[in-house]
Structure 1
Amino acid sequence: MTFSSSSSSSSSSSFSSLVVIILGVLVLLHESNAQLNSTFYSTTCPNVSSIVSNVVQQALQSDPRIGASLIRLHFHDCFVNGCDASILLDNNGTTIISEKDAAPNTNSTRGFGVVDNIKTAVENSCPGVVSCADILAIAAEASVSLAGGPTWTVLLGRRDSLTANQAGANTSIPSPFEGLPNITNKFSAVGLNINDLVALSGAHTFGRAQCRLFSNRLYNFNGTGNPDPTLNTTYLTTLQTTCPQNGSGFNVANLDPTTPDGFDNNYFSNLQNNQGLLQSDQELFSTSGSATISIVNSFSSNQSTFFQNFAQSMINMGNISPLTGSSGEIRLDCKKLN
């Protein structure tokens, strides 16, 4: 009787151990499925990065703004439901209400045609393999690298969404009119910290912004009837010429007045000189007591430090809630569902 009980106990223990092992393996498999990696297309589309880079380089010849526009698409995509290419979907008249028509994107985001050109080139080489979400991530890295900025290993394996979230785009994407606390909260909501906030804001070292996004700083800041007192007065005069008070608001100004098409750390020196174009830029340095000030100073004094942090923060942003495994789909046309 004692032997039988011992044998039963031993068998039960072995069975329990086996269950634990199986569950552990299943958890690991699930985690590996959800984990992006740098070799995802090594056998299915090994030249994808060079294909994307070549199309971006070609686009830059006629449009020096396109690099900044492409990285902005990736940013605006990842902050809404994660990095899933939902921003690329057009209205379909039934289930898709496009994020392109959300306030932060309408008449503002650009580069969709270049994304289509990249997708066509990739499909010609590797049909039905590479997601539009991964194309945005690769294009962002290529855009920075081609402008003289850092390179990094882009983690891949995202799949494309089956939905869009216009309401989420209206509330989740940081606004140039918002104060630093609100923007910090929006970064925190997607798992990004203060260092990521400052580093990723450094993408404003190239590209342009429309006058309507900062004209309040030139003429009527916070309803005072006066310019933003943190704005460098010489810079203010220059901007008022570019953006007259009764203008359309769609003229554009360089985000970085010193090296507008190069990716460097001048953005942070500009903040120190009160030459941040957007309110959300300047507040990184002008908000008294903010932890962002020392980070701005660090990045301004050492471009390598900025480049290293920017690359890591781009990887962090690219990891926001990706669809992987069997979730979503690989769109054949980035503008619409299969």
Structure 2
Amino acid sequence: MASAPPSSSLLILLILAFAALVCESRLSADYYVKSCPRFNQIMQDTITNKQITSPTTAAGTLRVFFHDCFNDGCDASVLLSSTSSNSAERDAEINLSLPGDAFDLIVRAKTALEFACPNTVSCADILAVATRDLLTMLGGPHYTVYLGRKDSRISKSSLAESNLPRPTMPMSQLIDIFTKRGFTIQEMVALSGAHTVGFSHCKEFSFNIRNDTHYNPRFAQALQQACSGYPQNPTLSVFNDIMTPNKFDNLYFQNLPKGLGVLESDHSLYNDPRTRPFVELYAKDQNKFFQDFAKAMQKLSLYGIKTGRKGEIRRRCDAVN
């Protein structure tokens, strides 16, 4: 015996529910145009003020964004604080050096946006837009950020330790980490160009300076002197690009053949035959680097995002609702 067809009212409810789910899950560049009309202006004002007062904010925010996205997607899980029952990502050993200015920027932007349009803008969207806008402030390429992400309710330090790449990893392992997330070797090299700004802590490379013959000898000596007090002062760091450390350009790639890379992974990019052709390409052609970097960043910003009911819009970026 055939079952009775559902009533017309039930069909309507099902259609409306499905339509709402589809709409809720769709990302767009103007996602907040109606729900938070001042979104772009608030973001611009907050970012500009923070970067002017703390010029290292841009590079720091880029690093926080990368650490967030590569650990189970761009969902602001790295912004959550630990609780008595859970050790969050930001307390993982690999994340302890993430700069406070980046977290402060997100808090400022979230506070202003909650005042203007409560419970509307996700922390994940704030981090994605802040990263893009700060990069352009440093002279980097502009790319469209599609909005509508939700914030994760889960953040575990153990996942960060196992998911994030480290500068001491062999190139095969680094390539594997990227390709498992759908990124090509060329996209990995393009994203590595983010090292054209910012700095690295001495603890990430000082043990290797004397043993790695790929360093320019004078540069190695300068690094040893800069990091001589590292055991007593673990916060000591050096610029990734010693030529133009606060400008987003292709000098990072030009430095690598000269032995002026800071990290072991920097040297590996030039010395490995799988990645060297792209290093040479970007060293010669900044426009090509900018073009590929922008595409890779846009792709990264959409990796593993949470939409619809898979996440929430946190009222505070450091705690779940």
The alignment's TM-score, normalised by the length of structure 1, stands at: 0.85
Q: Specify whether residues 29 and 282 from structure 1 end up closer, same or farther in structure 2 by C-alpha distance, changes over 3 A only.
A: farther
Aligned counterparts of 1:47 and 1:299: Cα–Cα separation in 2? 37
Give how far 1:198 is off: 0.7
Q: Which of 288, 303, 321 is residue 286 of structure 2 equivalent to? A: 303
Q: Matches of residues 109-188 of structure 1 in structure 2 within 5 Å?
A: 109-110=99-100, 111-188=102-179
Residue 225 (structure 2) pairs with residue 241 (structure 1): yes
Aligned counterparts of 1:31 and 1:316: Cα–Cα separation in 2? 21
* Structure-2 residue corresponding to 1:97: 87
Cα deviation digits, residues 62-97 of structure 1 (max 9, x gap): 322110100111110011111111000011223x42
Aligned counterparts of 2:254 and 2:21: Cα–Cα separation in 1? 45
Aligned counterparts of 1:302 and 1:52: Cα–Cα separation in 2? 32
* Structure-1 residue corresponding to 2:250: 265
* Larger Rg over CA atoms: 1
Structure 2 spans left out of the alignment, 5+ residues:
1-16
Cα deviation digits, residues 132-191 of structure 1 (max 9, x gap): 001110011011001111111111110001111211100111101111111111112222
Compare 171-180 and 236-245 and name the one that shifted more: 236-245
Q: Matches of residues 52-71 of structure 1 in structure 2 within 5 Å?
A: 52-71=43-62
* Structure-2 residue corresponding to 1:44: 35
Instruction: Tell me the SS of whatever aligns to 1:326.
Output: helix
Aligned counterparts of 1:28 and 1:308: Cα–Cα separation in 2? 36
Aligned counterparts of 1:247 and 1:274: Cα–Cα separation in 2? 25
* Structure-1 residue corresponding to 2:192: 201
Aligned counterparts of 1:312 and 1:28: Cα–Cα separation in 2? 30
Give how far 1:246 is off: 6.1
Cα deviation digits, residues 299-336 of structure 1 (max 9, x gap): 11111111111111011111111110122110010000
* Structure-1 residue corresponding to 2:202: 211
Aligned counterparts of 2:181 and 2:24: Cα–Cα separation in 1? 21
Q: Specify whether residues 128 and 33 from structure 1 end up closer, same or farther in structure 2 by C-alpha distance, changes over 3 A only.
A: closer
Compare 106-115 and 274-283 and name the one that shifted more: 106-115
Aligned counterparts of 1:271 and 1:312: Cα–Cα separation in 2? 23
* Structure-1 residue corresponding to 2:239: 254
Aligned counterparts of 2:119 and 2:62: Cα–Cα separation in 1? 24
Cα deviation digits, residues 99-121 of structure 1 (max 9, x gap): 01112101334321121011112
CA RMSD of aligned residues (A): 2.1
* Structure-2 residue corresponding to 1:313: 296
Give how far 1:61 is off: 2.1
Give how far 1:47 is off: 3.2
Give how far 1:43 is off: 1.3
Q: Which amino acid aligns with 2:140?
A: G
* Structure-2 residue corresponding to 1:275: 260
* Structure-2 residue corresponding to 1:7: none
Q: Which of 324, 329, 336 is residue 312 of structure 2 equivalent to? A: 329
Q: Specify whether residues 228 and 41 from structure 1 end up closer, same or farther in structure 2 by C-alpha distance, changes over 3 A only.
A: same
Aligned counterparts of 1:69 and 1:81: Cα–Cα separation in 2? 20
Cα deviation digits, residues 32-70 of structure 1 (max 9, x gap): 754432121121123323322322221122322110100
Aligned counterparts of 1:237 and 1:305: Cα–Cα separation in 2? 33
Q: Specify whether residues 242 and 92 from structure 1 end up closer, same or farther in structure 2 by C-alpha distance, changes over 3 A only.
A: same
Q: Specify whether residues 198 and 246 from structure 1 end up closer, same or farther in structure 2 by C-alpha distance, changes over 3 A only.
A: closer
Instruction: Tell me the SS of whatever aligns to 1:61.
Output: helix
Is the 2:140–2:290 Cα contact (8 Å) retained in structure 1? Answer: yes
Question: Size of the alignment, in residue pairs?
Answer: 305
Give how far 1:30 is off: 6.8
Structure 1 spans left out of the alignment, 5+ residues:
1-25, 220-226
Aligned counterparts of 1:197 and 1:28: Cα–Cα separation in 2? 37
Aligned counterparts of 1:188 and 1:27: Cα–Cα separation in 2? 34
